[in-house]
Every structure is written in structure tokens, then in C-alpha cells.
């Protein structure tokens, strides 16, 4: 944050649309093989026209309401607030269909793909949450769907791999590199290049080449828009002092931040200590855009390490790199041990079993409780923890 005016954020369009080249400040852009540039351009044109079309927006809104269950509630946590000494509000993305914020983006992209005349979706997935959401949308829209998942992740997340098959999708193992998320992204992009006439690449976070970081943020903007309205009605027109979200690629954070970027609220993104792309702040190019990522001194991308597979990504979306560079948002690391404590704390005090990803946000709030004393803190609870219960049973055994 700039030292002279730490709480004076109201004068600028902090989360403006990217430049014509797809840049947020110096970050973003389109760094893809030549053969993919026309596909990115076609997608940008299609998204611009769809997003300006009220019929498209109305259809998406209808799906979000009647299929995904929006608006998600805002929950004031009285027990937890008493325990931590600040007012904690949760934006309940865990209550959406398929259990997280991911459905917002996927329904938007599937609707867009259909409008573009595409009949197939291809996606990457790490823990399987984005794969399941994409397979869900493909089933709903009657589209063919191929999901790439690292071979290591398939073994770790058998249930999600099976869910995708139940939903009618094909799961293909990424066998290259470390056989995890970043390899699945590479293979999904390769597939897209080869099948671009019929196929839309449904990317799962605010990363990749333009227009993805922007488009995915816009599809998640509904989180921040709803939360701003819900907070205003709860707080008598006010905004929370601090807005907190976990950051893998950064889509749930971008969604909730977009509702408060020009308000008088601090924005905090929480990364796993073993995947702190901003904390280690090395600019570089990965998966089609210029951003921050974890790399060694020779520029090799490092493996991220985290208790939650959904945050196991070595990079961060370019708009977050920009928000970090300008000081509008800050990014804080928490350890796996802090996350395990926070996961149990929320379950015990509020009866909510959160996704391990979302527990990162709460872990930072617990750590920063002195700084937050008396403040109102909005935490985006990005997902529910059903998928993590078996893992926690082992961790806590
Ligand atoms: C996938 C996932 C994340 C991480 O993705 P972002 O793009 O950083 O939001 C966070 N929380 C949950 C519950 C997820 O499923």
C-alpha cells in the first residue's frame, strides 16, 4: 500500500478492463504459439459482443439463479467474531451447485461456447473441482467434454475423476512433466490448437492468454456485486474494512475484489506459503501471459506445494500481479498448519466445513487478528469442504 494514503482508494478505476493488448499495467498479454493467436482473438471478439448483449446476460443470470442457486448468502459469524475480536462476514460460494465459485465461470463460458457454435469443451483440472464444474456444464448443454488431469492428481482425486465420468466427460491423464496441474494446462492448450474449429477451451481461473484473465473475472464479478449489495444492507450502507480471499490462480479473489476495488476497503489475497507466487515476486511468462510465478534462478517453473490441491499452482493471474505491483491489494502467505487449525475453527464455531483453499483466508484472519481488532472483515468462502474431509481425517489422525 502507498504510505501516504493507505486507505484512500476511491479515486481510480483499480480493476479497469485490460488494454487492447490484454494488459493490466505491465502484466497479461497473449504469449501463445502463432497457431493459437486467431483463436484468442476470435474468443475476445465473441466475449465482447456477448457481454454487451443483454439477452446473453439475462440467460446467464437465469442459469445462475435457477441452476447454480445464486445469489449465495452473506453469513455473519457471531461465534467466530466473538472469538477473534472482529466482525466476520462470509460470502457463501460454498453453497453453489458443485460446491464452489467455479460454476459461475463455467456456465458463462459454456453459454459463450454455444453462442460461438462450438460443440465441445476442453478443460484442465488440478484437484478436479474445475473439471467437475466443466463436466456439469457440458452435461447441461449437451456438449462433448474432455478434461485433462495430471496422472498424479487422478490418483490423488479418484472421486472427482469418477464424477466427471458420471457426468459424461472423458478424463485424459496428463503424463508429461510432474503430471500435475501445470502439465494438464499444457495438454489442454495443445488439444485446443488441434481442435479449435469445434472446441472451446474452458479455462478455470484468471490466467492464461488474453481474454481469459479478463473474461473469467467478469464471469465471477457477480460474487463481488452481490457481496457489495449484501454488505451495504447489513452495514447500513457501509463496506467492510477488509476483503479477504484465497488465491490459487486468483479467480474467486478477482470476483469478490471487483465489488470493492474502488471502495474504501483493504484487499487481501492469501496464498499457501509453498505456492506464494506474489510473495516470491518473480515476473515471468507461464501459460500464455506475463505475471508473477515461482521459478528457480535459471527460470525453471517451480512446483507449488500446498495442503490444498486447488491452490497448487506456481503462478498467479496477471491482474493480481498488477494489483500487487500498484499496492491496491496485498498478498500474504499462510502455512499448511495454520490452514488445518482454521479449517477446524470454522467447523467448531460456526458449523461450516470449508474447502481447504477457503480455510487459507481464515488462517490469515486468525494470524492478523490484532491488526483486525474491531474491524469488519468479509471472507469469500470459495468452496465447501466435503472433498477434503477424508484428507483431514488422515491429517488429524
Ligand atoms: C479452485 C478453487 C480455488 C482456487 O482457484 P482461484 O482461481 O484462485 O479462485 C479456491 N477455492 C476453491 C474452493 C476452489 O475449488
Chain centre to alpha carbon of residue 19? 22
Q: Which three cell numbers stand for residue 321?
A: 500481479
Q: How confident is the model at residue 280 (pLDDT cuts 50, 70, 90)?
A: low
pLDDT at 8 over 60: no
Give 372-392 pLDDT, tens digit per residue.
999 999 999 999 999 999 999
pLDDT at residue 182, rounded to an integer: 86
Q: How confident is the model at residue 4 (pLDDT cuts 50, 70, 90)?
A: very low
Q: Which three cell numbers stand for residue 190?
A: 495443445
Q: How confident is the model at residue 166 (pLDDT cuts 50, 70, 90)?
A: very high
Q: How confident is the model at residue 148 (pLDDT cuts 50, 70, 90)?
A: very high
- Identify the bridge partners of residue 379 per DSSP, sorted by sequence position: 90, 244
Strands 23-24 and 376-381, by their bridges, are unpaired
Instruction: Tell me the backbone φ, ψ of residue 261, rounded to 5 degrees.
Output: -60, -35
Please give the DSSP secondary-structure letter assigned to residue 261: T
pLDDT at 302 over 80: no
The whole-number average pLDDT for the span 63-71 is 98
Query: Separation of 55 CA from ligand 1 center, angstroms?
Result: 29
Residue 128 Cβ contacting ligand 1 at under 6 Å: no
Given a contact cutoff of 8 angstroms between Cβ atoms, the answer to whether 295 and 301 are in contact is yes
Instruction: Name the pTM for this structure.
Output: 0.95
pLDDT at residue 6, rounded to an integer: 46
Residue 129 Cβ contacting ligand 1 at under 6 Å: yes
Greater confidence (7 vs 124) lies with 124
Nearest CA to ligand 1 atom 1: 310
The secondary structure element, H or E, covering residue 330 is strand 329-334
What's the sign of the alpha-carbon dihedral 10, 11, 12, 13? positive
Q: How confident is the model at residue 119 (pLDDT cuts 50, 70, 90)?
A: very high
Ligand 1 pocket mutation, candidates 343, 354, 383, criterion most atoms within 8 A of CB = 383
How many beta carbons lie within 10 A of that of residue 110, not counting itself? 26
Cell numbers 447441461 label which residue? 140
Rounded percentage of the chain residues whose pLDDT exceeds 90: 82
Candidates 65, 185, 173; CA nearest to 123 is 185
Residue 250 Cβ contacting ligand 1 at under 6 Å: yes
pLDDT at residue 283, rounded to an integer: 85
Q: Which residues participate in catalysis according to the annotation?
A: 77, 101
Amino acid at each position: 500500500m502507498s504510505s501516504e494514503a493507505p486507505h484512500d482508494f476511491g479515486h481510480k478505476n483499480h480493476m479497469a478492463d485490460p488494454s487492447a493488448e490484454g494488459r493490466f499495467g505491465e502484466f497479461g498479454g497473449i504469449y501463445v504459439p502463432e497457431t493459437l493467436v486467431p483463436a484468442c482473438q476470435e474468443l475476445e471478439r465473441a466475449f465482447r459482443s456477448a457481454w454487451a448483449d443483454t439477452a446473453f446476460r439475462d440467460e446467464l443470470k437465469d442459469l445462475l439463479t435457477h441452476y447454480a442457486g445464486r445469489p449465495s448468502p452473506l453469513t455473519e459469524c457471531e461465534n467466530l467474531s466473538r472469538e477473534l475480536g472482529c466482525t466476520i462476514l462470509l460470502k457463501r460460494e460454498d453453497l453453489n451447485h458443485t460446491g464452489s465459485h467455479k460454476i459461475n465461470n463455467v456456465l458463462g463460458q459454456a453459454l459463450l461456447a454455444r453462442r460461438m457454435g462450438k460443440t465441445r469443451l476442453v478443460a484442465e483440472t488440478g484437484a478436479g473441482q474445475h473439471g467437475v464444474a466443466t463436466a456439469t456444464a457440458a452435461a447441461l448443454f449437451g456438449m462433448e467434454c474432455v478434461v485433462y488431469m495430471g496422472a498424479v492428481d487422478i490418483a490423488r482425486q479418484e472421486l472427482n475423476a469418477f464424477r466427471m465420468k458420471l457426468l459424461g466427460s472423458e478424463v485424459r491423464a496428463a503424463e508429461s512433466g510432474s503430471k500435475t496441474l501445470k502439465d494438464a494446462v499444457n495438454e489442454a492448450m495443445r488439444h485446443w490448437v488441434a481442435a479449435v474449429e469445434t472446441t472451446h477451451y474452458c479455462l478455470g481461473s484468471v490466467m492464461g492468454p488474453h481474454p481469459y484473465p479478463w473474461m473469467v473475472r467478469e464471469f465471477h464479478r457477480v460474487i463481488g456485486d452481490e457481496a457489495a449489495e449484501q454488505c451495504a444492507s447489513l452495514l447500513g450502507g457501509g463496506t467492510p474494512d477488509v476483503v479477504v480471499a484465497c488465491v490459487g490462480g486468483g479467480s474467486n479473489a478477482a470476483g469478490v475484489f471487483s465489488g470493492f476495488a474502488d471502495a474504501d476497503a483493504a484487499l487481501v489475497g492469501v496464498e499457501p506459503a509453498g505456492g506464494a507466487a506474489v510473495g516470491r515476486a518473480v515476473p515471468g511468462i507461464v501459460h500464455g501471459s506475463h505475471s508473477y510465478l515461482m521459478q528457480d534462478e535459471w527460470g525453471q517453473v517451480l512446483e507449488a506445494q500446498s495442503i490444498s490441491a486447488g491452490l497448487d499452482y506456481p503462478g498467479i493471474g496477471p491482474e493480481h500481479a498488477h494489483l500487487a505491483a500498484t499496492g491496491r491489494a496485498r498478498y500474504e502467505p499462510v502455512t499448511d498448519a495454520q490452514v488445518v487449525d482454521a479449517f477446524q475453527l470454522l467447523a467448531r464455531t460456526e458449523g461450516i466445513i470449508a474447502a481447504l483453499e477457503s480455510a487459507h483466508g481464515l488462517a490469515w484472519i486468525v494470524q492478523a487478528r490484532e491488526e483486525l481488532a474491531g474491524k469488519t472483515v468479509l471472507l469469500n468462502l470459495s468452496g465447501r469442504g466435503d472433498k477434503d474431509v477424508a484428507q483431514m481425517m488422515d491429517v488429524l489422525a
